Amino acid sequence: MQKFIVIGGKRLNGRIRVSGAKNATLPVLAASLLTDKGCLIHEVPKLKDIDVMKEVLKYLGSVIECRGSSLKLDNSRVCSKEISEDLMRRMRASNLVMGPLLARFGHVRAAYPGGCAIGSRPMDLHLKGFAALGAEITEKHGFVEARANCLKGAEIHLDFPSVGATENLMMAAVLARGQTVIKNAAKEPEIVDLQNFLNSLGAKVRGAGTDVIKIEGVGELELAEHTVIPDRIEAATHLIAGAITAGEVVVENVIPEHLDSVIAKLREAGADIQLGQNWIKVASDGKFKAVDVKTLPYPGFPTDVQAQLMVLMTVAQGTSIISESIFENRFKHVDELRRMGADIKIEGRTAIVKGTSKLSGTFVEATDLRAGAALVLAGLIAEDATVIENIWHIDRGYEDLEKKYSALGARIMRVNSV
């Protein structure tokens, strides 16, 4: 087990490069299972979650070669075999292999997926969609099985614009007979990236980025090369790091429009933000106004940045109301922030954050990925040392975070717990 020790009080200054997006890479790697012709994927981040996806793919028969931040995948020997609880429980996104396996082999059987403890995360929308495409679904003894002789295009109306369900159904529909229309689809940039990858494989998908996605089934797919989009959640975390430390940070390798809702909130809170074509510069005097935030599906404010923004609000002037509308239990960071002196009250799915002048370092625990990132941000401005345990959560979604922040002047060390 490793932990971070963060000594607060250093302004962050300089340039920081964002890695490829975890949440775009995971579906793209899963989608590679659709073809037996091979794929080359660039800008793959070095993350625990990516290692888990690679393990799942290798178990299924994938041959994977790493070349720097690129992955070459040969899926010609892949077959659809039962995926154990041990592999599936390590993260939520392991469920994304189900759509491609069902499409290519007409059968998939896997244990229910795991994932961050941020609320109940059912798969009903994925499974209803598979059923609409003609699959027979069985759920027994912790396993889900989907079987179809031949998937047939269908109109699917999602009850909620679920990111994972949209992705799984796009992938399942690629080889189905006829047209599939997904209505009330998720509009996240990662969905657009998946569409681009699927189309480079020879699929016929259009509409990603809007709430109606149309997929014309094709008979066969080609080999493909793809570069993953930059991670907008990592970028948002760095923008908050620059602002909260009263620093001046240029965040490079970003698509600024993917961060519109975050930039709007940071500006409202008083940060100075300048935009370039593929960079964003944040500067601040360290004084912030309280702002209210409600998390929403894209293009609304991302739930994956709620915890990090809350840290900024703990030291803002006034009271901020933060509502979490995506996950019902995504306030686990609140107890840890309170230990550092934050004044936060929870009422249902709302956090009421009263700005205080200072946080103070202590022993805290990362309870999930973004909660962990939030604690790093809190540590950067806290008095004295903050010791963050369970940082494997942070390693799920941030590549070399301590190295990136040290290069900006932060005092943050990774140490082995004894």
Residue stretches of the annotated binding site for phosphoenolpyruvate = 22-23
Find which of ligand UD1, ligand PEP, none residue 3 binds, CB within 5 to 8 Å per kind: none
CB of 115 to ligand PEP, least distance (A): 4
| Cβ pair 167, 185 in contact under 8 A | no
Separation of alpha carbons 296 and 277, rounded Å: 26
Report which residue's Cβ sits closest to ligand UD1: 164
CB of 49 to ligand PEP, least distance (A): 6
| Cβ pair 302, 263 in contact under 8 A | no
* Segment interacting with ligand UD1, rule: CB under 6 A, options 65-73, 161-169, 336-344, 380-388: 161-169
Catalytic hit among 39, 66, 79, 116? 116
Binding of ligand PEP at residue 115 (CB under 6 A)?
A: yes
Q: Which structure tokens are listed for 55?
A: 């393990």
Binding mask 281-310 for ligand PEP (x = CB under 6 A): -----------------------x------
Separation of alpha carbons 42 and 110, rounded Å: 28
Interface with ligand PEP in residues 169-208 (CB under 6 A): none
Binding of ligand PEP at residue 391 (CB under 6 A)?
A: no
- The upper half-sphere exposure of residue 247, i.e. CA atoms within 13 Å in the direction of its Cβ, equals 26
* Segment interacting with ligand PEP, rule: CB under 6 A, options 85-93, 95-103, 176-184, 207-215: 85-93
Find which of ligand PEP, ligand UD1, none residue 196 binds, CB within 5 to 8 Å per kind: none
Identified binder of ligand PEP from the candidate list 93, 229, 263, 282, rule CB under 6 A: 93
Binding of ligand PEP at residue 370 (CB under 6 A)?
A: yes
Q: Which is nearer to ligand UD1, 108 or 412 (CB)?
A: 108
Identified binder of ligand UD1 from the candidate list 182, 326, 340, 380, rule CB under 6 A: 326
Whole-Å CA distances, 105 to 79, 109, 151, 201, 214: 8, 11, 10, 17, 22
CB of 93 to ligand UD1, least distance (A): 4
Confirm whether 116 is a catalytic residue.
yes
* Terminal CA-CA length for the chain: 8
Tokens 């109606």, located at residue: 212
Binding of ligand PEP at residue 333 (CB under 6 A)?
A: no
Identified binder of ligand UD1 from the candidate list 23, 80, 245, 306, rule CB under 6 A: 23
CB of 94 to ligand UD1, least distance (A): 10
With contacts defined by CB under 6 A, how many residues of the chain interact with ligand UD1? 23
| Cβ pair 295, 303 in contact under 8 A | yes
Find which of ligand UD1, ligand PEP, none residue 355 binds, CB within 5 to 8 Å per kind: none
Tally of CB atoms within 10 A around 65: 10
* Segment interacting with ligand UD1, rule: CB under 6 A, options 6-14, 65-73, 116-124, 169-177: 116-124
Find which of ligand PEP, ligand UD1, none residue 103 binds, CB within 5 to 8 Å per kind: none
Identified binder of ligand UD1 from the candidate list 303, 314, 320, 367, rule CB under 6 A: 303
Interface with ligand UD1 in residues 171-190 (CB under 6 A): 186, 190
What is the binding site for ligand UD1 (CB under 6 A)? 23, 26, 92-93, 119-126, 160, 162-165, 186, 190, 303-304, 326-327
Active site (catalytic) residues:
116
What is the binding site for ligand PEP (CB under 6 A)? 23, 91-93, 115-116, 118, 304, 369-370, 397
